């Protein structure tokens, strides 16, 4: 049976244009259009980069917390405790994916 990190990673890696690689601090990193969407530290933690304004909104709404190492940046951390946290992690990855892919599409219009 696949753990939460495997479930999340498999879904994110399947989105159009997403590239997966080993993250420099360990784990799995996902990129689209040359930008990191976020990365997973096994089955326990997801870290995702957002603009500071978006990070503030996510933290205020309780959807994520400030990054565990870089709390003053736009990065957020999302704790994965069990399969019940998969949907929340996927929602954060999806928000960042859509933010980065819509920006690229807007440039083509």
User: What's the pLDDT score for residue 102?
Assistant: 87
Residues of the chain with pLDDT under 50: 108-109
User: What's the pLDDT score for residue 104?
Assistant: 55
DSSP letter at 84 equals G
- Domain locations in the chain as residue ranges: 4-104
Which pTM does this prediction carry? Answer: 0.90
User: What's the pLDDT score for residue 103?
Assistant: 64
Q: Looking at beta carbons, which pairs linking 59-68 to residues 24 or more positions away fall under 8 Å?
A: 63/88, 63/91, 63/92, 64/92
User: What's the pLDDT score for residue 109?
Assistant: 42
CATH architecture entry for 4-104: Alpha-Beta Complex (3.90)
Phi, psi for 76 (deg, rounded to 5): -125, 160
């Amino acid at each position: 049976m696949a753990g939460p990190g495997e479930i999340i990673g498999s879904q994110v890696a399947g989105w159009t244009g997403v590239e997966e690689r080993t993250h420099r601090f360990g784990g799995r990193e996902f990129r689209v259009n040359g930008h990191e969407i976020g990365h997973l530290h096994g089955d326990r933690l997801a870290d995702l980069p957002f603009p500071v304004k978006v990070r503030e909104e996510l933290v205020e709404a309780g959807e994520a917390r400030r990054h565990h190492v870089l709390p003053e940046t736009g990065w957020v951390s999302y704790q994965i405790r069990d399969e019940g946290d998969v949907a929340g992690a996927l929602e954060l990855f999806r928000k960042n994916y859509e933010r980065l892919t819509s920006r690229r599409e807007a440039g083509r219009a």
